[in-house]
Chain A
Amino acid sequence: MPDSQPEDFAADGGHGAVPLDGVPTALGEQPPSGEWPLYEVFVRGKRGLNHVHVGSLHAADDTMAVHHARDVYTRRNEGVSIWVVRADAITASSPDEKDPMFAPAGDKVYRHPTFYDIPDDVPHM
């Protein structure tokens, strides 16, 4: 990993945290001309209960981002609802912190609810 500041991470294109250097995402900062800010797109499918991240796109503002999301990500009748959010509004965990963040949970199998006997008359388990 190159030297980078853990606090300078944001979501980018659904591929996890990336450095913000050189990416026009900072809030309140005018993007350089010719470059629109990045938005993350979430779509709720016909059968889905949750909005699910499907990708990202560029747009000049929030309304245009919804239009673009409709055009780019729901062309094949996938969705019934769209959320968009500017990528810089998402605070993401840093890849540098991957081990302290996630590794400790890896060996604690007793946190899974698999050690209980489920009575036969309890449905939907």
Chain B
Amino acid sequence: MTDDHDSVYDGLLGEDDSHWAFGTSFEDPLAGVDTTIPDGADPATLATYCLMLGDDALVYSHRLSQWASNAPDLEDDIALANTALDLLGQARLLLARAAAADPSAVPAMPEGSPVPAEDSLAFFRDEPAFRNLRFVEPENGDFAVTIARLLVFSTYRLALLERLASSSDPVLSAIAAKGVKEVAYHRTYAGRWFVTLAQGTPESRRRLEAALPLVWRHHDELFATHPVEADAAAQGVGVDPAGLAGEVGAVLDQVLATAGVERPEVPSAGPVAGGRGRDGRHTEHLSRLLAEMQSVARAHPRGQW
């Protein structure tokens, strides 16, 4: 770190911002991006679809961030925090896209409020307006539960984003292309830990085997197509999750086989009040998570961050 040319950290503050995919503006995540609705797409459908994918990322990001300072060691603490931040970045872009597509989806704020639209969506919507899967809501549990859930979620989301990169909405396509690289690493990280825990010590294997049924309860929900997702897919902007089940299952079976663990046979969690997460029906975990996540923004609605 003595000579200037010896440090890998040189050059980070240069004038070329091209390596920051969406520029360096912290004010507007879609600065300079053309947010015109593509032909054949319905603005409200596009916005709701973006909320679904954005809320998955937002809620799961908050869950993973709860590991900060609590992970088994410093290196995994940072790894999980990085993963949470990647997902938060995806959430921000997706919520901003939703707001741009359909401004009426954004909660009304007091006159002169400095809260940007994507923050308003994140912090001033109530639980029934969240469209995330229930899969991402439950408490983290121990490290084995966290790894098992991260494996399933990142496998699912990677397959989804890979297809979404061909969306007819260029904004959604670009967000997906950026996310593919991030989520591919999340999957690698989780898959490796999954095998390590399965073949580590008797205690790590016991914990992993106990974790699988908890995670698999909500597995089927990932592939249950909501009418909005079907519409978004039909309009060319979205992806029908039912079409992901084969690829996701094959990847998970490969990891399970490598780990020497059986795929759990557990009854699927049923609908709540006739609905699922995509309908705005959630587990009790989400309300507690939102209470924590939204409390500061709601206490200071005119705060500048």
* Interface flag for A5 (CB, 8 Å): no
Taking CB atoms, residues of chain A closer than 8 Å to B12 are: 76-78
Nearest to B189 among chain A residues (CB) is A67
Chain B 28-65 interface mask (CB, 8 Å, partner A; 1/0): 00000000000000000000000000000000000000
Residue B75 contacts which of A52, A63, A71 (CB distance < 8 angstroms)?
A71
Q: Known contacts A64-B192, A71-B78: does B73 contact A36 (CB below 8 Å)?
A: yes
Cβ of A67 and Cβ of B192 under 8 Å apart? yes
Q: Known contacts A64-B192, A75-B82, A77-B19: does B11 contact A59 (CB below 8 Å)?
A: no
**Residues of A in contact with B, size category:** 20 to 34
* Interface flag for B8 (CB, 8 Å): yes
Cβ of A71 and Cβ of B192 under 8 Å apart? no
* Interface flag for B6 (CB, 8 Å): yes
Q: How far is the CA of A78 from the CA of B12 in the complex (A)?
A: 7
Nearest to B6 among chain A residues (CB) is A52
Taking CB atoms, residues of chain A closer than 8 Å to B192 are: 63-64, 67
Q: How far is the CA of A59 from the CA of B7 in the complex (A)?
A: 24
Q: Is the interface of A mostly helix, strand, loop or mixed?
A: mixed
Taking CB atoms, residues of chain B closer than 8 Å to A52 are: 6-8
Nearest to A43 among chain B residues (CB) is B8
Nearest to A44 among chain B residues (CB) is B8
Taking CB atoms, residues of chain A closer than 8 Å to B7 are: 45, 52
Taking CB atoms, residues of chain A closer than 8 Å to B76 are: 68
Chain B 6-27 interface mask (CB, 8 Å, partner A; 1/0): 1111111000000100000000
**A-B pairs with beta carbons under 8 Å apart, 12 shown:** A45-B8, A47-B10, A47-B11, A58-B75, A59-B75, A67-B188, A67-B192, A71-B75, A71-B78, A72-B74, A75-B82, A78-B12
